[in-house]
Amino acid sequence: DYLNRIVTRRAVVFFISDFQAPDFSRALAVSGQRHDVIAIHIRDERERVLPNIGRITLEDAETGDQIEINTADRKTRALFMDAVHGRETELSRTLRRNNIDAIALQTGKDYLPALRSFFKQRERRIGVR
């Protein structure tokens, strides 16, 4: 909403996020209709795999809510992985549905080769403007 209020003409918009917030899809849909949006998904493997280290307390950084889980339990780790894959699948659907180009970058890895490749492919697909 903020973007569309301050940028009134069509623009190339880079949406850089880990996409963990649950309500990003509406903002992407609205922005994608008005602008050429490129989603840059920042991924951290430590947020995608639950380590087998026993009982831990997790805290939501935004709300402060806490929950204790047993990471030694295979079912818990499997449910966590299913949730991660579900969020990633939903993100991919939202981006495709709104014709938004996307690239995923890993923290701790060199991002330049991935960005070069992404923009070369994008240039071939849409042509030079």
Amino acid 103: pLDDT: 96
Summarised one tens digit per residue, pLDDT across range 68-119 is 999 999 999 999 999 999 999 999 999 999 889 999 999 999 999 999 999 9
Summarised one tens digit per residue, pLDDT across range 1-58 is 677 788 888 889 999 999 887 777 777 888 888 889 999 999 998 888 889 999 999 8
Amino acid 25: pLDDT: 78
SS (H, E, C) the chain: CHHHHHCCCCCEEEEEECCCCCCHHHHHHHHHHHCEEEEEEEECHHHCCCCCCCEEEEECCCCCCEEEEECCCHHHHHHHHHHHHHHHHHHHHHHHHCCCEEEEEECCCCCHHHHHHHHHHHHHHHCCC
pLDDT at residue 128 above 70? Answer: no
Contact 107, 44 (CB under 8 A): yes
Amino acid 31: pLDDT: 84
Mean pLDDT, the chain, rounded, equals 89
Mean pLDDT of 59-63: 87
Cβ neighbours of 119 (radius 10 Å): 13
Q: Given pLDDT bands bounded at 50, 70 and 90, which one contains residue 129? A: low
Report the distance separating Cα 100 and Cα 108, nearest Å: 25
Amino acid 111: pLDDT: 96
Report the distance separating Cα 103 and Cα 119, nearest Å: 10
Amino acid 53: pLDDT: 94
Listed by start position, the domains of the chain span: 2-121
